[in-house]
Amino acid sequence: MSKYKLFLLRHGEGNWNKENRFCSWVDQKLSEAGVKEAQDCGRLLKEQGYKFDIVFTSILSRSIQTAWLVLEAMGQEWVPVVKSWRLNERHYGSLIGLNRAEMAQKHGEEKVKLWRRGYDITPPPIDESHPYFLEIYNDRRYTTCDVSKENLPRAESLKEVLDRLLPYWESTVVPEIRKGRTVLISAHGNSCRALLKHLEGISDEDIAGVTLPTGIPVLLEMDENLKPVKPRQLLGDQAKIQAAIKKVEDQGKALPST
């Protein structure tokens, strides 16, 4: 029997999503389409009668902006928003800023799929020669973390995302759910996928096939032990959701030669 509801949301489309580049820890705002996705998501949740008690986000702007727009569309701007780096997108290391389709042409689609979707494959780490290194590690937001800047990731597999996310989930999010509060986690494709893997017991192999499109809310209904009582539900127009999933999956394919 369902006792708790948890909503997961991958932020609306960012400018680098649109350009098919690995965004990761580079701070990007939502694109115009991403703003609309977040607003549409909020309107859908309002129409379906959902009310949030608390929202958790990463410390990246696109995650926070999405939460704000959703709450505004729902008329629930007053709901507390709690931010943590532990919900950040996966750190893609030296791949940050690169175009996925161009990489697929260079390295092959299977290699890029492994980098994007493999559970325990860590990409090459970012170093100080990388064009976005200083932009990330000199950013004041990373002085607010519960680990020193020197101990923040330089690259991560999905497994490592789950490893840094789980302590926050257990210490901060779970107590809110157990109080009977309805929680929204407005985060990123990989932080949401990592949490789904944990909650649904998805295998290391099968998680590669789990795709979350931007701006589509995912509802998990759970029992008293926080185990799902039914399959996750992607809320909204199902034909549009399937088209959005295909669009995400196609991002790692090589561009057709002209």
12 marked as binding residue = yes
11 is catalytic: yes
User: Of 28, 24, 154, 124, which Cα lies nearest the Cα of 114?
Assistant: 124
10 marked as binding residue = yes
Residues 19, 47, 89, 224: which is the catalytic one? 89
CB 213 within 8 A of CB 248: yes
32 marked as binding residue = no
89 is catalytic: yes
21 marked as binding residue = no
15 marked as binding residue = yes
193 marked as binding residue = no
225 marked as binding residue = no
89 marked as binding residue = yes
198 marked as binding residue = no
Query: What are 250's two structure tokens?
Result: 């196609």
190 marked as binding residue = yes
Residues 11, 37, 156, 188: which is the catalytic one? 11
116 marked as binding residue = yes
- Per the annotation, binding residues for substrate are 10-17, 62, 89-92, 116-117, 189-190
- Per the annotation, binding residues are 10-17, 62, 89-92, 116-117, 189-190
Instruction: Please list the active-site residues.
Output: 11, 89
